[in-house]
Amino acid sequence: MKTTPIIEKLLKYIKEKPLSYHTPGHKNGQFIPDNLSKIWPEEIWQYDVTEIFDLDNLHYPEGCIAEAQKEVARIFNAKASYFLVNGTSVGIQASILALSYNKPIFVPRHVHKSIYSGIILANAEPIFLPVSYDDELGLPLGVEPNILKNYLSKYPQCKTIVLPNPTYQGISYKFRELVTLAKNNGLQVIVDEAHGSHFCLHNALPPSGLSDADIIIQSWHKTLPVLTQASVLHLGKGYQGPDISIYLNMLQTTSPSYLLLASLDGCQAFLGRVGYSLIDTTINNINNFKEKMTGLKNLKIIDNINNELIDPFKLCITSCKISGYQLSDILRVKYKIYVELAEENYCLLIFPINIENKNLSRLEEALLQIDLYCSNLSLKQFTNLTNVNIIPERKILLREAFFSEKEIIHLNEAEGRISGDFIIKYPPGIPLIIPGEVINKEILKILRKDILGYKVKDGISVVVE
Ligand SMILES: Cc1ncc(COP(=O)(O)O)c(C=O)c1O
């Protein structure tokens, strides 16, 4: 058994100095636009091959891709694992098609837009579950188990649920309890683990869906060292359902990038070798960093929200003096530190699984200086602009509204109209309103605040009634 089967096959192929009479058009890096040849090493192009002899086939893997996927399944204790070259989004959509085609599905309202598109593709009937919020920070936590219990008895015909684990902000909200409740009631559980690829690698991290859910989809590119878009779908050990590859093959490209596949392959071998110890060391480094940050007076690191489990690799910083937007701006402009997400009341940063001390020191120095700068400022009024703790009234079904005739109207005319489109800001990619829901005063108030970034100045799509 090779430890990096895809990389080894690529190396063997490149060593032959092959003459390419096939795709891609750059012919193993022989024809590179000059502006790119100056900045990308030629070797990178040589690895950008296609599914030719001996390099296997992502849609029907039998060789090096199959071997690498098996290795991932072993490391992650999955029944089977599948490489994804179009992010977690494609894995989520395939899962919903596989388990919920034409059927009801429980969906917490704070989920990522790929879940909504999966629902539209599958003509599934979403049953939206209300979500608890942290009022102070204005961020979503998750579904209360009691609420799920009520919905389970109200909708006994619904046999699938999709749960995010963790949220964008790294909160793994009552996850075990929710999965157990769902499984005990005969549901199949799809877990959007886009932000939790590292969870099952170390027991000090929040629980992964891999222990008892049915389909778990992870954006390795978000927290692990692989190229952007590279993700993995795992089947849980107890998965009993349709062959997921049928749905993945329908949605994934027939020209998968070997740069992405090789990055997944390299990462799986790396994790198998040093995953636990690396994460162990990094958690220690992060804890030491947080310990040093306890002296901050005007900035605060949030490491406890409602006593829920939070991913230590996510750093949520709030301030009594400046907004999350201001903090993000100062970090970027003055210190060239780019954060993942800024909201009114907090700023979110993501640590790599292997953080070097010099990078931690640079962040530490910046936060100490900003803290000092803030001491002369007056206290900030805490406003909760983003708390959309409400599910807007729904007049028509999501899919029906999505495909219906629409018109674009000005915000001033939109109250009471049915939304024809998703209104989403990215990050975090969670819709404020979805097709079929009624645009109300609260929603309009949020849309009118430029600072919140919903970008709907020129008009809003509504269903023609
Ligand atoms: C919670 C959540 N789920 C799913 C996705 C989709 O992941 P990908 O970008 O890998 O398609 C994202 C991306 O931001 C996300 O934040």
Judged by average pLDDT, the poorest of 159-168, 215-224, 299-308, 391-400 is 299-308
Token pair listed for 309: 């489990």
- The pTM of the full predicted model, rounded to 2 decimals, is 0.94
Which band of pLDDT confidence, cut at 50, 70 and 90, is reported for residue 95?
Answer: very high
List the beta strands (DSSP E) in 116-249: 125-129, 132-134, 139-142, 160-164, 171-172, 188-192, 215-218, 231-235
pLDDT per residue as tens digits for the range 410-421 = 988 999 999 999
Q: How far apart are CA 272 and CA 253, in angstroms?
A: 28
If you search the block for the tokens 């008892």, which residue do you land on?
212
Among 167, 219, 231, 348, say which to mutate for ligand 1: greatest number of ligand atoms within 8 Å of CB: 219
pLDDT of residue 383: 65
pLDDT of residue 391: 74
In CATH terms, 398-463 corresponds, of 2.20.25.90, 3.90.100.10, 1.10.150.130, 2.60.120.1440, to 3.90.100.10
Confidence check: pLDDT of 465 > 70:
yes
pLDDT per residue as tens digits for the range 275-305 = 899 999 999 999 999 999 999 999 999 988 8
Report how far apart, in Å, the C-alpha atoms of 113 and of each of 148, 261, 432 are: 21, 25, 10
33 near 26, Cβ under 8 Å? no
User: Does 429 sit in the ligand 1 pocket, CB within 6 Å?
Assistant: yes
314 near 353, Cβ under 8 Å? no
Among 83, 113, 195, say which to mutate for ligand 1: greatest number of ligand atoms within 8 Å of CB: 195
Which band of pLDDT confidence, cut at 50, 70 and 90, is reported for residue 380?
Answer: confident
Confidence check: pLDDT of 204 > 90:
yes
Task: Give me the CATH code for the 280-374 domain, please.
Answer: 3.90.1150.150
Confidence check: pLDDT of 455 > 90:
no
137-152 average pLDDT score: 93
Tell me the percentage of the chain whose pLDDT exceeds 70: 96
Which atom of ligand 1 sits closest to the CA of residue 221? 10
Token pair listed for 264: 């997944």
Which band of pLDDT confidence, cut at 50, 70 and 90, is reported for residue 392?
Answer: confident
Confidence check: pLDDT of 207 > 60:
yes
Report how far apart, in Å, the C-alpha atoms of 118 and of each of 34, 45, 101, 238, 350 are: 40, 33, 10, 23, 27
Which atom of ligand 1 sits closest to the CA of residue 86? 11
Q: What is the distance between the terminal CA atoms of the chain, rounded to a whole angstrom?
A: 62
Per-domain residue ranges of the chain: 5-273, 280-374, 398-463
Confidence check: pLDDT of 447 > 90:
no
Does 33 sit behind a cis peptide bond, omega within 30 degrees of 0 on the bond before it? no
pLDDT per residue as tens digits for the range 33-88 = 999 999 999 889 999 998 888 899 999 999 999 999 999 999 999 999 999 999 99
pLDDT of residue 187: 98
Q: Which ranges of 388-459 would DSSP assign to H, the alpha helix?
A: 398-402, 441-448
CB atoms within 10 A of CB 33: 9
Please tell me the distance between residue 63's alpha carbon and the centre of ligand 1 in angstroms: 29
Please tell me the distance between residue 128's alpha carbon and the centre of ligand 1 in angstroms: 19
| Residue 251 or residue 356, greater confidence | 251
In CATH terms, 5-273 corresponds, of 3.40.640.10, 3.90.230.10, 3.30.160.100, 1.10.1500.10, to 3.40.640.10
If you search the block for the tokens 């899919």, which residue do you land on?
399
Query: What is the identity of the amino acid at 111?
Result: V
Query: What is the identity of the amino acid at 213?
Result: A
Q: Do domains 5-273 and 398-463 have the same CATH topology?
A: no
